[in-house]
Chains A and B, each alone.
Chain A
Amino acid sequence: MGPIQQFSVQVEVLLRAGIADPQGATIERALPALGLDGVTAVRAGKSFRFDLAAADESDALAQATVVADRLLANPVIEDSQVTVRPAGAPA
């Protein structure tokens, strides 16, 4: 194993397709008040960011995926998307 590196992780959690998203629907219904009636398919979710020490990028992705699948998202109702990049790298 090489030296430990620092990574920045972003996890996005959204309700799975087919699961009612009353929050997203409510936001969407508010938009015509702004004069915007072309906005559709609004979905509300959660975004998480954290730093992670790992041997390399694939190790970081594996660890971050555990965090996402076992804690941040409930797979019964939610999907998660994990993005890993070296600390300091542009997002």
Chain B
Amino acid sequence: MAPRIGVVLFPGTNCEHDAVQAVERLGGTAELVWHGATSTSGYDALILPGGFAHGDYLRPGAIARFSPVMDAVATYAAGGGPVIGICNGFQVLTEAGLLPGALQKNRGLRFLCTTTTVRVERDDTALTAGVPVGTELSIPINHFEGNYTCDAATLAELRAEGRIVLRYVDNPNGSVDDIAGVCNAGRNVVGLMPHPERASDPLLGSVDGVVLLRALLETARAATPAA
């Protein structure tokens, strides 16, 4: 059966259709899940896509954290369900406490819209299962607040537990330790600033994002839907 992916939609999200298309081109089925939903059961994985949830007012993700769907996402994640946050979705997951750290304004105070090279650091997360460590992927970023930061103890923990999932080869935004993506202790919740769905078709200039999205679909296929 094709894995069924829920794509969470907040007011101000704007990458949901890109995510749906990318999933469907790879043989998955994708459905939009409105932020007012109180359950995400029945999905094999969830994607929190990019955009400006709730206008990014206060801080990116700060208001989205209080959307009803986030309690359901937290329950889903606690049950082991794969949850991927892309760009604004990553910011939402950190604000919600499902991932550690925070995304602050880019070093240099520039909005960055460019293609980056990221290196896969782990082959055992929901987004990178089976992807050889060291694989370099060309994937675009599109953000103002993508500069990952956390306190020294958290960084030490992320390193020791192998929870840095992706690193920039040439750090574009000042992220500590070149971090482009991290995961939770269970390795089922992954957040990343680059947009794999925007590198999923030759027309987009790169198909490297397919490597990650295909890994997610494989994870979803193997996952028992969480309650």
- Check: A89 CB closer than 8 A to any chain B CB: no
- The answer to whether A23 touches B62 (Cβ under 8 A) is no
Are B104 and A20 closer than 8 Å at their CB atoms?
A: yes
Decide if B150 touches A74 in the complex (CB within 8 Å). no
A22 touches B109 (CB 8 A): yes
Is B186 part of the contact surface with A, judged by Cβ < 8 Å? no
Which residues from B are CB-within-8-Å of A23?
105, 109
The main secondary structure of chain B at its interface with chain A is: loop
> How many B residues are at the interface, by size bracket?
10 to 19
Identity of the chain B residue whose Cβ is nearest the Cβ of A48 in the assembled complex: B58
Query: A48-72: contact bitstring with B at CB < 8 Å (1 yes, 0 no)?
Result: 0000000000000000000000011
- Interface assignment of A87: CB less than 8 Å from any CB of chain B: no
A20 touches B107 (CB 8 A): yes
Q: Which of B82-109 contact A (CB under 8 A)?
A: 94-95, 101-102, 104-109
Please count how many residues in chain A sit with their CB below 8 Å of the partner chain's CB atoms.
Answer: 11
Let me know if B59 and A74 touch, CB within 8 A: yes
The CA of A23 and the CA of B105, in the complex, are separated in Å by: 9
B102 CB contact (under 8 Å) in A20, A26, A76: A76
Which residues from A are CB-within-8-Å of B149? 19, 76-77
> Interface on A for B, CB 8 Å cutoff?
15, 19-20, 22-23, 26, 71-72, 74, 76-77
